[in-house]
């Protein structure tokens, strides 16, 4: 196993939007895949840019954990709605920050970056009273006892791929190796849902610094899909949804068409305003 530290891991005092919105957590690993120094890269699926570099592809998505966001705090009584005015809440996600600004304007938001251990050290040091994180990451690190609030999926709609692990390889990797990895690691239902989400994201042309959200949930034989974009202050939001049969052969196409609907309904204007704001 080879351990990597990406640009997104190193530059903890710089917001993701200032580092660059695409490949922040993946570029170093993808270079290693292309030059053959590693066979397989393991990512949080939500960290993958919408379009992969030429010569690379995803061969598996692990079974998705619960995809919702949570509030963590060393104060077991902390709640977003009941917190005092000016209470400091940490998050590096523009999506979460936009939702917080809209729904909890009494809170003060601060950047809180780094791996989970680093963020919890910052929380313990008093840099914030609480943080917003993905439930999946908190659970994987065995830190569920710090969860003080589970946030609703219909308000805090997650980004594409949240709560699953993606396996990325070079297309030139031995076909037998690829087939073996896929057969062992890929969870078909999760892969179907996340493929839809990533198709939506690709059509939206959103990166890590853009508050684009997309979530597909399979219930029985139906996929419930919702996707959209929010302004940085949360005041403007364009959201569309659809329901399709899981056997529909055009799920990814339908997701892309929904993204076009979002863009044509005002999403393109929001996207342009965000890019202008982040570049200033």
Q: What are 196-218's pLDDT values in tens digits?
A: 999 999 999 877 789 999 999 99
CA distance 98 to 93: 9
pLDDT at 139: 97
pLDDT at 7: 52
pLDDT at 15: 47
Q: Is the pLDDT of residue 13 over 60?
A: no
Ordered by where they begin, the domains of the chain are 7-65+159-279 (3.30.160.40), 69-150 (3.40.190.10)
Residue 30 dihedral angles phi and psi, to the nearest 5°: -70, -35
DSSP 126: T
Indicate the burial class of 187 (C-beta count within 10 angstroms; 0-12, 13-18, 19 or more).
middle
CA distance 233 to 273: 11
pLDDT band at 5 (very low <50, low <70, confident <90, very high): low
Indicate the burial class of 269 (C-beta count within 10 angstroms; 0-12, 13-18, 19 or more).
middle
Q: Would you tell me how many other CB atoms lie within 10 Å of the CB of residue 168?
A: 21
pLDDT band at 2 (very low <50, low <70, confident <90, very high): low
Q: What is the average pLDDT across 83-105?
A: 97
Torsion of CA 245, 251, 256, 259, to 10 degrees: 30
Q: What are 36-53's pLDDT values in tens digits?
A: 999 999 999 999 998 999
CA distance 16 to 94: 9
Residue that wins the pLDDT comparison between 14 and 182: 182
Residue that wins the pLDDT comparison between 83 and 13: 83
CB of 87 closer than 8 Å to CB of 108 = yes
The H or E element that residue 225 is part of is: strand 222-230
pLDDT at 186: 98
CA distance 127 to 130: 9
CB of 16 closer than 8 Å to CB of 23 = no
Q: Is the pLDDT of residue 8 over 50?
A: no
Q: How is residue 185 written in tokens?
A: 């690691």
CA distance 124 to 127: 8
Q: Would you tell me how many other CB atoms lie within 10 Å of the CB of residue 143?
A: 16
CA distance 12 to 223: 37
CA distance 234 to 232: 6
pLDDT at 26: 87
User: Which positions are catalytic?
Assistant: 47
CB of 137 closer than 8 Å to CB of 164 = no
What residues have CB less than 8 Å from 99, skipping those under 6 apart?
155, 156, 230, 234
Q: What is the average pLDDT across 21-29?
A: 71
DSSP 159: P
Q: What are 155-184's pLDDT values in tens digits?
A: 999 999 999 999 999 999 999 999 999 999
Q: What is the average pLDDT across 90-117?
A: 95
pLDDT at 174: 96
Orientation of helix 188-204 relative to helix 251-262, angle to 10°: 30
CA distance 255 to 240: 10
Q: Is the pLDDT of residue 11 over 50?
A: no
CA distance 208 to 161: 12
């Amino acid at each position: 196993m080879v351990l990597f530290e990406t640009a997104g891991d190193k530059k903890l005092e710089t917001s993701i939007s200032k580092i660059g919105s695409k490949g922040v957590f993946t570029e170093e690993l993808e270079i290693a895949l292309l030059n053959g120094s590693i066979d397989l890269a393991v990512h949080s699926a939500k960290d993958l840019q919408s379009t992969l570099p030429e010569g690379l592809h995803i061969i598996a998505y692990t079974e998705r954990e619960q995809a919702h966001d949570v509030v963590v705090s060393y104060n077991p009584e902390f709640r977003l709605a009941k917190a005092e005015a000016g209470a400091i809440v940490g998050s590096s996600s523009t999506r979460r920050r936009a939702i917080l600004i809209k729904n909890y304007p009494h809170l003060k938001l601060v950047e809180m970056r780094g791996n989970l251990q680093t963020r919890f050290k910052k929380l313990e040091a008093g840099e914030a009273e609480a943080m917003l994180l993905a439930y999946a990451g908190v659970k994987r690190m065995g830190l569920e006892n710090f969860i003080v609030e589970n946030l609703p999926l219909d308000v805090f709609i997650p980004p594409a791929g949240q709560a699953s692990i993606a396996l990325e390889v070079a297309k030139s990797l031995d076909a037998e190796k690829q087939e073996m990895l896929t057969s062992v690691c890929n969870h078909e239902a999760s892969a179907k849902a996340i493929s839809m989400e990533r198709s939506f994201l690709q059509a939206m042309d959103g990166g890590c610094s853009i508050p684009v959200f997309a979530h597909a949930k399979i219930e029985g034989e139906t996929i419930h899909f919702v996707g959209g974009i929010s302004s940085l202050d949360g005041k403007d939001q364009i959201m569309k949804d659809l329901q399709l049969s899981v056997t529909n052969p055009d799920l990814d196409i339908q997701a892309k068409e929904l993204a076009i609907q979002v863009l044509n309904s005002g999403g393109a204007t929001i996207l342009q305003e965000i890019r202008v704001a982040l570049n200033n």
